[in-house]
Amino acid sequence: NAGVTQTPKFRVLKTGQSMTLLCAQDMNHEYMYWYRQDPGMGLRLIHYSVGEGTTAKGEVPDGYNVSRLKKQNFLLGLESAAPSQTSVYFCASSYSTGYRDTGELFFGEGSRLTVL
Partner 1 sequence: QKEVEQDPGPLSVPEGAIVSLNCTYSNSAFQYFMWYRQYSRKGPELLMYTYSSGNKEDGRFTAQVDKSSKYISLFIRDSQPSDSATYLCAMSAIGGEYGNKLVFGAGTILRVKS
Residue 83 neighbours by CB under 8 Å, 6+ apart: 15, 115, 116
- Determine if 41 is a binding residue for partner 1 (CB under 8 A): yes
Stretch that binds partner 1, among 20-28, 62-70, 74-82, 108-116 (CB under 8 A): 108-116
Tell which positions 10-39 bind partner 1, by CB under 8 A: 31
Determine which residue in the list 50, 63, 67, 71 makes contact with partner 1, applying CB under 8 A.
50
Q: CA–CA separation, 25 vs 33, rounded Å?
A: 11
Rule CB under 8 A: choose which of 59, 70, 79, 80 binds partner 1: 59
Q: Is 4 in the site for partner 1 (CB under 8 A)?
A: yes
Smaller CB separation from partner 1, 10 or 14: 10
Using the minimum distance from each CB to partner 1, give the nearer residue, 1 or 14.
1
Which residues, in sequence order, are CB contacts of 106 under 8 Å at separation 6+?
3, 4, 25, 27, 29, 92, 93, 94
Beta strands in the chain (DSSP E): 4-7, 10-13, 19-25, 31-38, 42-49, 56-57, 65-67, 73-78, 87-94, 106-107, 111-115
Interface residues with partner 1 (CB under 8 A) are: 4, 31, 40-45, 48, 50, 56, 58-59, 90, 92, 97, 99-100, 102-105, 107-110
